């Protein structure tokens, strides 16, 4: 059963990651490539590659209707990887011996 749309309640497109791109690849190149393969792009952003990596990464949001198309290997150059985006936060190690909040330390 199809549920009726609720005004103001929209699903935000899933963020995807495309990686193993040549360093010279631009966001406009990615958008043009997807457009040529009939995939609409809502947003696309370049990510800085990890230090020492000779490849480029990009994140993109596309409509759900085009979701399966981006996972079709035949639209990408050999070696390009498309996967769901996952944010990896850096871990913070606190090396201080006193971990009490500022102003709450006892003397």
Instruction: Give the start-to-end residue ranges of the domains of the chain.
Output: 30-84
Report, in this order, helix, strand and coil percent for the chain, each rounded to 5: 20, 20, 60
List, for the chain, all residue ranges whose pLDDT scores fall below the cut of 70.
Answer: 1-5, 8-12, 87-107
d(CA 64, CA 94): 41
C-alpha 101: how far from its chain's center?
Answer: 34
- So what's the pLDDT on residue 73? 94
Element (H, E) at 33: helix 27-36
- So what's the pLDDT on residue 48? 78
- So what's the pLDDT on residue 88? 63
- Let me know the angle formed at the C-alpha of 26 by 38 and 85, rounded to the nearest 5 degrees: 70
pTM: 0.67
- So what's the pLDDT on residue 12? 66
- So what's the pLDDT on residue 106? 46
């Amino acid at each position: 059963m199809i549920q009726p749309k609720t005004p103001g309640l929209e699903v935000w497109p899933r963020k995807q990651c495309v990686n193993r791109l040549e360093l010279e690849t631009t966001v406009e190149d990615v958008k043009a490539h997807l457009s040529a393969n009939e995939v609409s792009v809502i947003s696309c952003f370049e990510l800085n590659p990890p230090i020492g990596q000779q490849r480029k990464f990009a994140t993109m949001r596309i409509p759900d209707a085009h979701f399966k198309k981006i996972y079709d290997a035949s639209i990408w150059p050999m070696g390009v990887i498309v996967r769901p985006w996952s944010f990896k936060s850096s871990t913070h190690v606190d090396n201080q011996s006193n971990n009490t909040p500022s102003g709450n330390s006892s003397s």
